[in-house]
Amino acid sequence: MLILTIMIFKFSDILGVSMRCVDVLVIGGGPSGSIVSALLNKQGIKVLCVEKEKFPRFVIGESLLPNCMNILREAGFLEAVEAYGFQYKNGAAFSWKDEYRYFDFCDKSSNGDGTTFQVQRAVFDKILIDEAIKQGVEVCFETAVEDINFLDQYTEATLSDGQKIQAKYIIDASGYGRVLPRKLNLEVPSTLSPKKAYFTHIKDNIDEILYDRKKILITTHPEFRDVWFWLIPFSNGRCSIGVVGEESRLNINSSDEDTLKHHVYLAPMLKRLLDKAVWDTPIRTISSYSKDVKQLYGHRYVLLGNASEFLDPVFSSGVTIAMVSAKLASQVVTKILNGDQVDMQKEYVEPLMFGINTFRTYVEGWYNTKFQDVIYAKDENHKVKRQICSILAGYAWDHTNPYATRSNEALEVLAQICKR
């Protein structure tokens, strides 16, 4: 056996290829990758996280939900996040023409944190991965996972620097890189129609005294109810602004900057607020961002966050779903590596999909306007508002909330009452 091992080492030396062994290879160092790496490392599991980019790097997804906070706490990241001084967030506001409604996340029916942050993701993601490194996780930056081969006894990953990694388990947290969905042909079309987002960061110069920087502002387009804007203020006088809709609605045959400004200045509240804004950063776009897969796991691998299913940005659920998937995956992978029996369907897929499907109801309800009718209704019932508020705060996994457990029927009834 010893001779064979020496021969393998010699042979790989001759080829100039180094082979390393780890328990878990995590592909991608975004929120799902850093959280799962830290949680596994706490269980004594040897993790290698491989990240294609050099951090900090830009990524969209800047408004967190309070349900993230406990997972950040569990991963040991919260103190560092709080220390940075990100914009404190305590709710979500909605505007449509002259209507304005808001939800205070502390006034919700679920237990748990009621506040969170609005973050520049470049900084936020770097804080998370740096904290994971401090805890002992090994991270290779500027290295892509180029190929994965599932062999009899182990899985072999080929990295862009030529390294070969032997891993007992692969966690795909590669976001839109979607390494395993592409490799294993797991992609299926999303049930949500393809949309495009135009967005940028601006110096907002908002001087309206009553404007609440502690809430994301979601604005319905005055002409098209299936087009909406986000305004996410940061703590440094800047904010993220974006418009989302089907390409045919947004296209005005002009530059990206003209397109974004054209739509923003059609919305009365945004026009008033952003009157003195300085548009100093190039516009970015992303199209057809909703993604889905046939399956969330397979023999010796699991998919997390955006590498699995991504719905839509409207209720800022992406990072929360990514973190919940990371937490659940850390639990099942720990059990698997300890030799325990795991029912992946019951212990990973069903718990994760419960919350994703709750969000799906409200995302679909937003675009078919049933949920907008609820949000912009004139009368409100306090108990119902607290339950809806829980969902908006990210507690979509709360089995005591009928707006989560029976989301479709509950929304249908509520929308009919509101319409009347």
Ligand X SMILES: Cc1cc2nc3c(=O)[nH]c(=O)nc-3n(C[C@H](O)[C@H](O)[C@H](O)COP(=O)(O)OP(=O)(O)OC[C@H]3O[C@@H](n4cnc5c(N)ncnc54)[C@H](O)[C@@H]3O)c2cc1C
What residues numbered 86-145 form the site for ligand X, per CB under 6 A? 144-145
Interaction of residue 174 with ligand X, rule CB under 6 A: yes
Least CB distance to ligand X at residue 56 (A): 10
Let me know if 123 is exposed, middle or buried by CB neighbors in 10 A (0-12, 13-18, 19+): middle
What residues numbered 178-217 form the site for ligand X, per CB under 6 A? 179, 197
Cβ-based nearer residue to ligand X, 117 or 377: 117
What residues numbered 298-317 form the site for ligand X, per CB under 6 A? 304-307, 310, 313, 316
**Residue linked to tokens 């369907």:** 345
Cβ-based nearer residue to ligand X, 288 or 405: 288
**Residues touching ligand X: how many (CB under 6 A)?**
39
Least CB distance to ligand X at residue 11 (A): 26
Interaction of residue 250 with ligand X, rule CB under 6 A: no
Which listed residue (24, 26, 31, 270) binds ligand X by CB under 6 A?
Answer: 31
Specify whether the CB–CB gap between 47 and 23 falls below 8 A: yes
Q: Which two tokens stand for residue 21?
A: 């062994």
Mark the segment that binds ligand X (CB under 6 A) among 26-34, 147-155, 267-275, 337-345.
26-34
Question: Beta strand pairing status for 196-203 and 238-245?
Answer: antiparallel
Which listed residue (148, 186, 319, 356) binds ligand X by CB under 6 A?
Answer: 319
Cβ-based nearer residue to ligand X, 30 or 365: 30
Which listed residue (318, 365, 404, 415) binds ligand X by CB under 6 A?
Answer: 318
Side-chain-facing half-sphere of 325: CA atoms under 13 Å: 30
Spell out the residues 6+ positions from residue 375 whose beta carbon is closer than 8 angstroms to its own.
94, 101
Alpha-carbon distance 224 to 325, whole Å? 34
What residues numbered 54-93 form the site for ligand X, per CB under 6 A? 59-64
Mark the segment that binds ligand X (CB under 6 A) among 1-9, 14-22, 53-61, 360-368.
53-61
Residue type for position 126: K
- b/e per residue 217-227 (b: at least 16 CB within 10 A): bbbbbbeebbb
Spell out the residues 6+ positions from residue 192 whose beta carbon is closer than 8 angstroms to its own.
290, 311, 312, 363, 364, 367
Interaction of residue 407 with ligand X, rule CB under 6 A: no
Per-residue contact string for residues 265-294; x = within reach of ligand X by CB under 6 A: ---------------------x--x-----
Could you give the C-alpha distances from 150 to 147, 249, 300, 366, in angstroms and in order?
A: 10, 44, 8, 41
Give residues in contact with ligand X (CB under 6 A).
27-33, 50-53, 59-64, 144-145, 173-177, 179, 197, 286, 289, 304-307, 310, 313, 316, 318-320, 322
